[in-house]
Amino acid sequence: LNHFFDQVGNEQGVAYRVLTASSCVPIPGFDVERLPTWAQKPCRDQIAAVAKALPEVDRVIVAGMWQYQMQSQAFTKALTDFLSATAGANKNVVVLAQVPMFETDVQRVRRFTELVLSAPLTFNREWQAANQQVKAIADRTPGVRFLDFSSSSFFAAAPYEQGLLIYRDSHHLNEVGASRYGHYAAQQLQRAFDQPQSNVSLKP
């Protein structure tokens, strides 16, 4: 996220602040208790940081590993309430779809590719259903935009993009991938923010 928003911010001339914690989407009502003990305090700290920062910002982008988070009914309610309250406070709110996830070890695929050997590449399909769940929440919340790049040209050859490996593991982009993703998304994010506040879902 840091490399992604560094790139987006540089291209938009905007400073983004990334507030995140392991396995946590730091919004009020997040069910911290389901996280491992070591992850609970950082999550609570970032929830408090988000609450403190919100009055001072006019743009809010929410991202997460939705296939993990949307298994929780408590989280689904927390996300619904957060998006509604934040957009209702006249913030520009964009929710990013989860990036594609693989069952395959992408580093193994890279090694086989370099040896000019074929390696099977298998997508994990749970992220697609989770993206649709989050999209449904965003679509019924006035003023919230859902941006889904998972079927875009950027991920067409995933885990590669223009011949370079952009994934670090099955579900995280590496530094190169995150920066390239930011470059790809920057203009469309700006377009989403420039649109009048309305109920709109964008799928580039």
User: What digits encode the pLDDT tens for the residues 113-135?
Assistant: 665 656 667 767 788 999 999 99
Task: Report which of 48, 68, 189, 79 is spatially closest to residue 141, judged by C-alpha positions.
Answer: 79
Taking every pair of Cα atoms in the chain, the longest distance, rounded to a whole number of angstroms, is 55
Closest CA to 95 of 34, 136, 58, 54: 136
Mean pLDDT of 62-89: 97
Copy the structure tokens of residue 12: 């938009």
pLDDT value for 107:
67
- Beta strands in 5-161, from DSSP E residues, in sequence order: 59-62, 92-96, 101-102, 123-124, 144-147, 160-161
Pairing of strands 164-165, 160-161: antiparallel
pLDDT at 111: 60
37-71 confidence digits (pLDDT tens): 999 999 999 999 999 999 999 999 999 999 999 99
| Residue 182: per-residue pLDDT | 96
Provide the pLDDT confidence category of residue 10 given band limits of 50, 70 and 90: very high
